[in-house]
Amino acid sequence: MTEMTMEKKKISVIVPCYNEEETLQAFYRETTKVLNTMEEITYELMFVDDGSADCTLEILRGLSEEDSRCHYISFSRNFGKEAGMYAGLKESTGDYCVIMDADLQHPPTLLPQMYRAVHEEGYDCCGGKRCGRDGDGILRSIFSRAFYHVSKGLTHMDMSDGYGDFRMMNRTMVEAILNMQEYNRYMKGIYSFVGFRTKWIEFQNVERQQGVSKWSIKSLFSYAMEGILAFSTTPLKLAGATGILLVMGAILYLIVSLVICGVKAQAVSGFSVLLSVVLLLAGVQMLFLYIIGAYLSKDYMENKKRPLYIVREER
């Protein structure tokens, strides 16, 4: 009821930018056009120049001079989008934060709907779920789909295709994300880890307006590996299954050799005995590797110092 007399809520738009000189003006124009129609809010644009080599920084300086709602942080070199998003969230002051790509692949027209979801409908987060991959190459689409399949199985976290960084979050969720202090950051996993009530709005994938995607197949692959390694220790324990297979193989082989020799009334050959012993030893080694992996994985996760729980609400 006191809603009307209360202060306007502030939205911080966080924009990681790496060599985006061609798109920034259009991004600014389109995004502020939508934000200006939302009379119930104030806003700030928090650009993060991720060590761009082009005129990105000059453009950001210009924008912040013309418009006091524009701010920027400029990195000393390229640290990657993850670092950009972290810095942007950390410096932002809004009641709600929304992360957007600079290339207009995240339609600003979704912002009013997102705001309604987090402000009125009781959600902590409202994300844009991208449908289709029109702007992406075939190879990249296949690769991405395969990765999301594997990573879902390995990490037991909901990191499905299409659920990206384009999302508006309330302060509580932003603080929870900032409290995840791990160095190897993988935001898709972090969103899933911190939880909170999230609403999804579908939008059609479009090609980036100008410039080129900053991702090569190589960087996508290492990003994918990062995601799996940061949230799963299953690979460390793969030796376990191999060890069990080898030990069982050794025992089975010995039994079969003994039975055959028994039927034929012959002595077991030295080769058969040697082979089972070798298989057995290899299997035992694998099992010990598994044990080392198991301890290592505990230590690895411990080192991340992730919160034991995250509070959504209290009185």
Please report how close the Cβ of residue 135 comes to Mg ion at its closest, in angstroms.
7
Nearer to ligand UDP, 73 or 244 (CB): 73
The bridge status of strand 125-131 relative to strand 96-99 is unpaired
Site for ligand UDP in 102-131 (CB under 6 A): 102-103, 105
By the rule CB under 6 A, 177 interacts with ligand UDP: no
Nearer to Mg ion, 90 or 140 (CB): 140
Using CA atoms, how far apart are residues 125 and 191, in angstroms rounded to an integer?
A: 10
Tokens of 122: 């009781």
By the rule CB under 5 A, 82 interacts with Mg ion: no
Tokens of 155: 């990490």
Task: Tell me the C-alpha to C-alpha distance, in Å, between residue 17 and each of 46, 47, 111, 210.
Answer: 10, 7, 19, 13
Please report how close the Cβ of residue 29 comes to ligand UDP at its closest, in angstroms.
16
Print the binding letters for residues 193-212 with ligand UDP: x by CB under 6 A, - otherwise: ---------------x----
Site for Mg ion in 94-113 (CB under 5 A): 101, 103, 105
Please report how close the Cβ of residue 102 comes to ligand UDP at its closest, in angstroms.
4
Question: Which residue's structure tokens are 């600079």?
Answer: 102
Question: Which residue's structure tokens are 């709005």?
Answer: 201
- The interface partner of residue 128, options being Mg ion, ligand UDP, none and the CB cut-off 5 to 8 Å by kind, is none
Tokens of 8: 């306007």
Using CA atoms, how far apart are residues 205 and 199, in angstroms rounded to an integer?
A: 18
Of 143, 213, 224, 216, which Cα lies nearest the Cα of 186? 224
Q: Looking at 2-10, 213-221, 237-245, 272-280, which segment touches ligand UDP (CB under 6 A)?
A: 213-221
By the rule CB under 6 A, 20 interacts with ligand UDP: yes
By the rule CB under 6 A, 227 interacts with ligand UDP: no
Taking residue 29's Cβ as centre, other Cβ atoms within 10 Å add up to 11
Site for ligand UDP in 41-80 (CB under 6 A): 50, 78, 80
Nearer to Mg ion, 71 or 130 (CB): 130
By the rule CB under 6 A, 101 interacts with ligand UDP: yes
Nearer to ligand UDP, 25 or 213 (CB): 213
Task: Tell me the C-alpha to C-alpha distance, in Å, between residue 87 and each of 43, 127, 179, 236.
Answer: 18, 20, 13, 31
* Inter-residue contact 157 to 193 (CB < 8 Å): yes
CA angle centred on 43, ends 179 and 103, rounded to 5°: 80
DSSP 21: T
* Inter-residue contact 53 to 92 (CB < 8 Å): no
Print the binding letters for residues 177-216 with Mg ion: x by CB under 5 A, - otherwise: -------------------------------x--------
The residue ranges that bind Mg ion (CB under 5 A) are 101, 103, 105, 208
The residue ranges that bind ligand UDP (CB under 6 A) are 16-18, 20, 50, 78, 80-81, 84, 101-103, 105, 208, 213-215
